[in-house]
């Protein structure tokens, strides 16, 4: 049986890459004011997948990017069927050249 739980995932500054799945959240700034149409918005991380590549692995930056993008695309293929897929996003960070991409 699946139960609601919060799990910790460690992401270190020395990880070679991290892939994130996040959900866009919003909340009325003043919920008591029915005429208020202003919202605060933020992203809530649903999961983070740290990736590391061995020093002995002879990978070019291009190969690392391909591997990280393959994980992001696989997650996209899974989450595209989520009922809230329009509120979900996938992004990744690669430490090789500090590249950041939002999907």
Residue 8, in any domain of the structure: no
Confidence class of residue 59 from pLDDT cuts 50, 70 and 90? confident
Mean pLDDT over 75-92 rounds to: 85
Residue 2, in any domain of the structure: no
Q: Is the distance from CB of 103 to CB of 43 less than 8 angstroms?
A: no
- The pLDDT score that the predictor gives to residue 80 is 84
Range of the domain at 52: 17-102
Separation of alpha carbons 37 and 23, rounded Å:
21
Model pLDDT for residues 6-43, shown as the tens digit of each residue: 888 888 888 889 999 999 888 888 888 888 888 898 88
Residue 1, in any domain of the structure: no
- The pLDDT score that the predictor gives to residue 97 is 53
Give the 3-state DSSP-derived string for the chain, with helices as H, strands as E and coil as C. Answer: CCCCCCCCCCCCCCCCEEEEEEEEEEEECCCCCCCCCCEEEEEEEEEEEEECCCCCCCCCHHHHHHHHHHHHHHHHHHHCCCCCHHHEEEEEEECCCCEEEEC
Question: pTM of the full predicted structure?
Answer: 0.76
Residue 37, in any domain of the structure: yes
């Amino acid at each position: 049986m699946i139960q609601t739980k919060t799990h910790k995932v460690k992401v270190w500054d020395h990880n070679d890459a991290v892939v994130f799945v996040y959900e866009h959240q919003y909340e009325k700034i003043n919920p008591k004011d029915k005429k208020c149409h202003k919202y605060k918005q933020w992203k809530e991380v649903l999961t983070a997948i740290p990736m590391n590549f061995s020093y002995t692995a002879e990978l070019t930056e291009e190969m690392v990017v391909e591997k990280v993008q393959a994980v992001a695309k696989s997650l996209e293929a899974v989450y595209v069927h989520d009922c809230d897929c329009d509120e979900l996003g996938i992004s990744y960070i690669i430490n090789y050249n500090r590249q950041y991409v939002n999907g």
